[in-house]
């Protein structure tokens, strides 16, 4: 979906602006970095008083592997190698649990090398060959409440910059799983954009009421 991050999403604000405002509710502006491959977008960073990092166009190309793009962007952030990096996806406007995320990381970072947001999946999953993935057919078919939970990976993480560069990936060998209270919507298509737009508008209305 072309220019999805910058088209009007809520009250004339783009997904980028919505995410910046969410982050400003938790973090100091000097600690928030907007990475973009278009210099003109630095005006948005200036407007909000946050930092801007011009992204190498190679990292924004569709053919560049996601892990390589993320690692390259993290490497360009002018912070200490020891600093923890929180990656916030603008395409997940419904996710705004950043204070809880930081608190969970503070409590668990001694025993884990990274934090990853996930959705819990307790459904009967079947692969394309019709084989049961997390349950058994026949007499062994369990109740849904007895299913061992699986987790779908979301796109928000926390990890030390040095570890991201070492692993060339933003998730380590012992991640802490931060289970989302509400399932998020990752925007990639127009239909997903419109669905997230409706859900976000309803959410904001309920906050006012």
- Residue 158 in 3-state DSSP? strand
| Mean pLDDT of all residues belonging to the chain | 92
Q: Angle at Cα 177 formed by Cα 174 and Cα 180, nearest 5°?
A: 165
137 within some domain: no
- For the entire predicted model, the pTM comes to 0.88
CATH code of residue 43: 3.90.550.10
pLDDT, tens digit, for every residue of 130-173?
999 989 999 889 988 889 889 999 889 999 999 999 999 999 99
**Which H/E stretch holds residue 60?**
helix 57-60
Is 95:156 a contact under the CB 8 Å cutoff? yes
Integer-rounded Cα Rg, in Å, for the chain is 19
**Count of domains in the chain?**
1
Determine the structural domain holding residue 81 and report its residue range: 15-117+149-208
Assess if residue 165 is contained within a domain: yes
On whether residue 132 sits in a domain, the answer given is: no
Q: Which 8-state DSSP code applies to residue 164?
A: H
Q: Is 7 a member of any domain?
A: no
Maximum C-alpha span of the chain: 63
Average pLDDT over residues 12-23: 96
Q: What is the pLDDT of residues 77-135, one digit of tens each?
A: 999 999 999 999 999 999 999 999 999 999 999 999 999 999 998 899 999 999 999 89
Token pair belonging to 30: 């000097």
130 occurs within a structural domain: no
- CB proximity list for 1: less than 8 A, separation 6 or greater: 187, 188, 189, 190, 193
Whether residue 135 is contained in a domain is answered as no
Kindly state whether residue 131 falls inside one of the protein's structural domains.
no
- Both tokens of residue 43? 């005006």
């Amino acid at each position: 979906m072309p220019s999805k991050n910058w088209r009007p999403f809520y009250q004339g604000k783009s997904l980028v602006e919505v995410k910046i405002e969410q982050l400003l509710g938790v973090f100091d502006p000097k600690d928030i970095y907007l990475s973009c491959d278009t210099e003109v977008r630095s005006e948005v960073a200036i407007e909000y008083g946050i930092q801007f990092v011009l992204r190498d166009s190679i990292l924004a190309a569709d053919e560049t592997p996601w892990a390589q793009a993320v690692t390259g962007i993290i490497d360009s952030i002018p912070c200490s190698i020891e600093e923890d990096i929180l990656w916030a996806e603008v395409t997940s406007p419904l996710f705004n649990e950043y204070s809880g995320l930081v608190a969970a990381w503070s409590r668990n970072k001694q025993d884990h090398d990274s934090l990853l947001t996930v959705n819990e999946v307790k459904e009967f999953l079947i692969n394309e060959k019709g084989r049961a993935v997390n349950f058994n057919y026949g007499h062994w078919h369990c109740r849904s409440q007895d299913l061992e939970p699986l987790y779908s990976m979301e796109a928000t993480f926390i990890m030390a910059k040095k570890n991201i560069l070492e692993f060339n990936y933003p998730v380590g060998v012992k991640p802490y799983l931060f289970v989302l209270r509400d399932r998020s919507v990752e925007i990639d298509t127009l239909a997903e954009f419109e669905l997230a737009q409706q859900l976000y508008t309803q959410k904001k209305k309920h906050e006012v009421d």
